[in-house]
Amino acid sequence: TEPLDNTFDWSQASAEFVPFRPSPENYQLPGNGPGWNVRSDYFTAAQSHGLLDSIFAKAGRGIDQVVCLWAHLPETDFLQNIEIIDSLAHQAAQRYPDVKFRYCTAIEAMQRWRKSQDAVAPQVAFHEEADGDQVGFTIATDEPIFQRTPFVAVKDIYERYFAVPCEAVGTNSWRTTASFPRSTLAKAGVALCDTMGNQTTRFINFLPEDIYVDNRDDGFAELGGNWTTSSSAAWGIDSRVATVAPHDSAAVKWSATLAQPGRYNLFVQVPPVQNSAANIAFTIRHQAQAIGTVRFSEPLPAGEWLYLRTVLLNVAGVLEIEMKAIGDAQSARTIAADVIKISALVRDRDLHATPNFVDLGPVSEEDTASFQIVITNRGVGELTLQGISSTQQTLLISTQFPVIISGMASHSFPIRFHSPALGLSLDTLLVASNDPIRPQLAIPVAAEVLPYFVIVDNEEVSQYHEAGDWRYSVAQAYGPTSRYAFLSQRPFAGARFTATVKKSGFYDVFEIVPTTVNASNHALYEIKAPNAPIDSVYLDQNQGSGDWILLGRYQLPAGAVIEVKVSDTGESTVGDVLRADAIKIALFQEITAVAESDAGEVPGDFQLLQNYPNPFNPATTIEYHLPRAAQVQLAIFDAMGKRVCNLVEAQQQPGRHRIAWDAHNEAGAPVASGVYFYRMRAGDFLDQKKMILLQ
């Protein structure tokens, strides 16, 4: 009953640092299991509660212990904690001079505790076993091993890894139960250890290992130009950079000795640099003979393996890749040199997609979301795509197939998503090709379809406008960027978002800014629709930052242009900046009829009119008058006084308003026949009337 999935429970185990064989029924308790367990503690535990002093005291009473202390190497205080533990150990040793301690690896510690003299790893014979083109493996050792069977792994030319099961075929000998086509194999390996933990590994290389030559390796040489070291690196710890002046050049060379003939893919990788040079040529030579040149007219993309070409070498020997940038037509550009890769993992066709999972997030029920899938062929031959299909028919692909993608090339495919159903939408793109290993690739696509909403981001130039000095922020909450302006500019800074809504109804209006602690605590948000102020809200932009914050609920007719403006008021008492990122206008409740007074006539008084028709089935209309703008609540109640639904709860403009009720409650379920009341509150005005539903 060993623990799985990193769920460890040691509540029943001994608190002593004394190894024990675990019980097959309960790994926490001693038994007759084949392995060994021992208590371990995190570094910081050894620094408190006198733990080391307790360990030394027990050792002074004759209790030998294996003290396992651990931490993660990348932790910034890893070395500092080792020094602290070492100091505490030596302090304890002074208090217990008869106690000896030693720093060991885990294997050495257990061997010493078990008083074993066996430090010799097993002798292993690892061989391939061919059956036509299929290859399996045999393993034999000169002594029993700790594992039930050896661990065998295989890597193929597609850079996939497989754990290969084994079966016993004799004493200390095994055979793999699976085989592989020789033409696809790159490397195989076996690992095992004896009962004292001495480990042996063996490998069989079917193809040469990848070769990397870095700017710090002996195979790197600078041929021309003024090169200096840069801390920017795509590989290793640094790179070399040079500035290319007009009518000047800079060049470097990477060299490697290839022990075997064959096909090799050649790649280069460079770090990001400012003002990167263009017009770069790579000349490839084998045994001092030029075999090709690859030219790039644009700056090299940084941080990725850039394919140069595939070469077929009939003999072993020295391969050279020279990179040269010429300063003609470019002034003071920078070229960087870092690393090359020479790989024998050459395949004919190899299908890959980016991204391999698409999460569209919230999508409005009225909208179509667009995205792109990039299909890459990492093989050197032509890859034919027969088609891309959608399993749930929510994804629209307009590309005409078949599409042929050349070797080591990519093709981008536009995809559109639309679903009429609200809620979570899960679909799958199926990419069909003539890839010999993965002829069909599945790409999951997820979206949450929500009732109608509109989002305007700061990147939408036709719907976002600024006044004052605004700058890009390193933080964002929605979209790829956000903006900020320093407070107390003259005149005060402001930003304006505009959007058009398609439906009549009540809308919740939200704003969002990145998570922040240095923003205005008195930002003014003004809401206008259409072209007239309907509300203003002061917000502390730090409170709730990073989430959508509700500004208010407002009634808007279809086609209305709503404007949300955020401004510095000059009254902020904390913070340094005003922030802007995005607004969201989300439909709360659609209404089918909203009528204003003719010719802009405004009623003289608040009034709630009798519904019509009354009695009614299946719907009725309620009209009410507002002499001035007000926060309006109109609700339906049953005969027992229980609220059935809210028809209106929003700030509304002066005029005559009508709204239909379809005899459904807030959950969307139809209500029973009977007497109902509708109650209106607008400022100090309150009125209620009765209506009858007959079915």
The superfamily in CATH containing domain 598-693 is: Macroglobulin (MG2) domain (2.60.40.1930)
Backbone φ/ψ region at 618: left (φ over 0), alpha (ψ -120 to 50), beta:
alpha
- 436 preceded by a cis bond (ω within 30 of 0): no
Amino acid at 398: S
Please determine, looking at this structure, whether the domain spanning 453-590 carries the CATH number 3.40.640.10. no
CA–CA separation, 656 and 598 (whole Å): 9
pLDDT for res 123: 97
What's the chain's Rg over C-alpha atoms?
Answer: 37
CA–CA separation, 673 and 675 (whole Å): 7
Angle, in degrees to the nearest 10, between helices 51-60 and 78-95: 40
Domain extent listing, the chain: 1-117, 124-205, 211-343, 351-449, 453-590, 598-693
* CATH fold group of domain 124-205: Immunoglobulin-like (2.60.40)
Helix (H) / strand (E) containing 433: strand 423-433
DSSP letter at 4 equals -
**Is there a shared CATH topology between the 211-343 domain and the 351-449 domain?**
no
- Per DSSP, the residues of 243-304 read EE-TT-EEEEEEEEEESS-EEEEEEEE----TTB---EEEEEEETTEEEEEEEESSPPPSSS
What is the tens place of the pLDDT at every residue in 135-150?
999 999 999 999 999 9
Nearest CA to 41 out of 23, 15, 65 is that of 15
pLDDT for res 1: 40
Helix, coil or strand: residue 481: coil
- Cβ within 8 Å of residue 232, ≥6 positions away: 238, 239, 241, 271, 272, 273, 336
Class of domain 351-449: mainly beta
DSSP letter at 612 equals B
Nearest CA to 655 out of 532, 537, 548, 566 is that of 532
Tokens representing 508 are 């919740």
- The structure tokens 């040469």 sit at 208
CA–CA separation, 660 and 675 (whole Å): 17
Helix (H) / strand (E) containing 113: helix 106-113
Spacing of C-alpha 526 from chain mean position: 36
Please determine, looking at this structure, whether the domain spanning 211-343 carries the CATH number 2.60.40.10. no
Which class for 235: exposed (0-12), middle (13-18), buried (19 or more C-beta within 10 A)?
Answer: buried
Amino acid at 607: Q
Residue 251 contacts residue 281 (beta carbons within 8 Å): no
Nearest CA to 156 out of 131, 200, 123, 189 is that of 189
Helix, coil or strand: residue 437: coil
Amino acid at 385: L
Torsions phi, psi for 668 (to 5 deg) = 90, 10
Helix, coil or strand: residue 43: helix
- Could you state, in chain order, the average pLDDT of each consecutive group of 10 residues for the chain (695 residues)? 59 92 91 90 84 94 94 91 94 95 93 92 97 97 96 97 97 97 97 95 97 98 96 96 89 97 97 92 96 94 96 96 85 92 97 96 91 96 97 95 97 95 94 96 96 95 96 92 96 96 89 96 90 85 96 84 95 95 91 46 89 85 90 92 90 86 84 93 93 88
CA–CA separation, 586 and 692 (whole Å): 32
- The structure tokens 């060379």 sit at 253
- The structure tokens 């109650």 sit at 679
Average pLDDT, the chain: 92
- The structure tokens 């028709």 sit at 613
CA–CA separation, 114 and 108 (whole Å): 10
